[in-house]
Amino acid sequence: MSQAKGSWMTMVVLAGALAFSSGVAAQTAPAPAENAPPTADNAVMLTVFLKHDQSRPLSELNAQLQRQGYYKAFPPEGVEVVSWYVMMGIGQVVTLRLPASRLREVNRIIENTAWGSYRTEFYPTYDYKAIGVAAHEKAQQQ
């Protein structure tokens, strides 16, 4: 019985090691080269909360962002900025429209250039406006 349990544990450890190593490779692989514009078939919207570190002055945060290349890298070329607001007491809220294939690229840019000055939250969404408006109009005619 203990030998079977030992074999099972060995398989679990190996599976975990493989999962961990493949996850590391996935995080360090180059971003997709696809720069196709967002279309109705492939577009997602991404709302990013950039919550500033309130324990440090704004000038210090901006200097860190500059050093890390944030202003040069974000947003990447070909990604549409839908809105970009300052939310007082929070930081910045940015909504982007991009092809789903570029989601990882945008995430990596934030990880590499904004972390330290900002804590981040990501909310991927899709455009529902046309469907919602059509449902509303249909309901008005009934």
Per-residue confidence (pLDDT) for residue 15, from 0 to 100: 45
Phi, psi of 37 (to 5 degrees): -70, 155
The answer as to whether 21 is a domain residue is no
Residue 102, token pair as written in the block:
């570029």
For the cut 80, the answer to whether the pLDDT of residue 6 exceeds it is no
CATH number for 82: 3.30.70.120
Residue 68, token pair as written in the block:
């890390």
Residue 80: give the domain boundaries: 43-141
The answer as to whether 24 is a domain residue is no
Chain centroid to CA 142 = 41
Residues of the chain above pLDDT 70, percent: 71
The answer as to whether 27 is a domain residue is no
Residue predicted with more confidence, 2 or 118: 118
Q: Are 54 and 118 in contact (CB under 8 A)?
A: no
Does this model's pTM top 0.85? My answer is no
The answer as to whether 50 is a domain residue is yes
The answer as to whether 19 is a domain residue is no
The answer as to whether 54 is a domain residue is yes
The answer as to whether 37 is a domain residue is no
d(CA 57, CA 124): 30
The answer as to whether 15 is a domain residue is no
A 10 A CB-CB count for 102 gives 22
| Domain count along the chain | 1
Phi, psi of 76 (to 5 degrees): -70, 155
